[in-house]
């Protein structure tokens, strides 16, 4: 008598679906982590670049004030290569109505803003600077002091 052995080797449809589901979850997690890391790196790079530009512009303003330039004559700083920072006290900016403050709603027109306030009794000026980045959703703020000459 011949004995028939049933060898059921192979993969069922359920096992294939479960394996596919597990691989899909693993790949989705890996791709999501890579995208998160890329966004984090780009955001950090944007912040560092804007912070460096802001420091450069504040240094230029401090130098101008220290050399005796009146604050009313400091209406913009920077070069075309880096973009410019605009004084919010600049009389040429006809779309700005109130002086001595930042205009968050004008970030697209004036992505780098500053204003200078005379510091009473200390013989100097406070400089307030704001630079917007990441499509206006984030900002860098600086406050500096320049001594009167």
Q: What are the residue ranges spanned by the domains of the chain?
A: 49-147
What are 94's two structure tokens? 């006809």
Mean pLDDT estimate for the chain: 85
Q: Is residue 144 within 8 Å of 62, Cβ to Cβ?
A: yes
Residue position matching structure tokens 């499509």: 135
- CB atoms under 10 Å from CB of 114, counted, come to 26
pLDDT tens per residue across span 104-128: 888 888 899 998 988 877 788 999 9
User: Who's near 77: CB < 8 A, 6+ residues apart?
Assistant: 57, 60, 61, 64, 84, 85, 114
What are 136's two structure tokens? 């206006």
The pLDDT value recorded for residue 143 is 92
The HSE-up count of residue 41 (CA atoms within 13 Å, CB side) is: 6
Top pLDDT among 3 and 32 is at 32
Dihedrals φ, ψ of 86, to 5°? Answer: -110, 140
User: Who's near 52: CB < 8 A, 6+ residues apart?
Assistant: none
Top pLDDT among 100 and 134 is at 134
At residue 62 the predicted structure's pLDDT band, cuts being 50, 70 and 90, is: very high
Give the percent of the chain with pLDDT over 90: 32
């Amino acid at each position: 008598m011949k004995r028939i052995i049933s060898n059921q080797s192979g993969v069922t449809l359920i096992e294939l679906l479960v394996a596919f589901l597990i691989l899909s979850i693993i790949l989705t997690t890996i791709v999501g982590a890579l995208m998160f890391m890329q966004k984090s790196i780009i955001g950090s790079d944007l912040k560092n670049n804007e912070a460096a530009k802001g420091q450069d512009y504040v240094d230029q303003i401090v130098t101008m004030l220290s050399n005796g330039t009146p604050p009313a004559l400091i209406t913009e700083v920077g070069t075309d290569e880096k973009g410019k920072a605009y004084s919010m006290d600049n009389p040429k900016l006809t779309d700005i109505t109130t002086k001595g403050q930042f205009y968050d709603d004008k970030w697209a027109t004036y992505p780098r803003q500053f204003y200078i306030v005379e510091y009473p009794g200390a013989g100097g000026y406070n400089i307030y600077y704001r630079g917007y980045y990441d499509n206006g959703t984030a900002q860098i703020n600086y406050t500096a002091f320049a001594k009167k000459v």
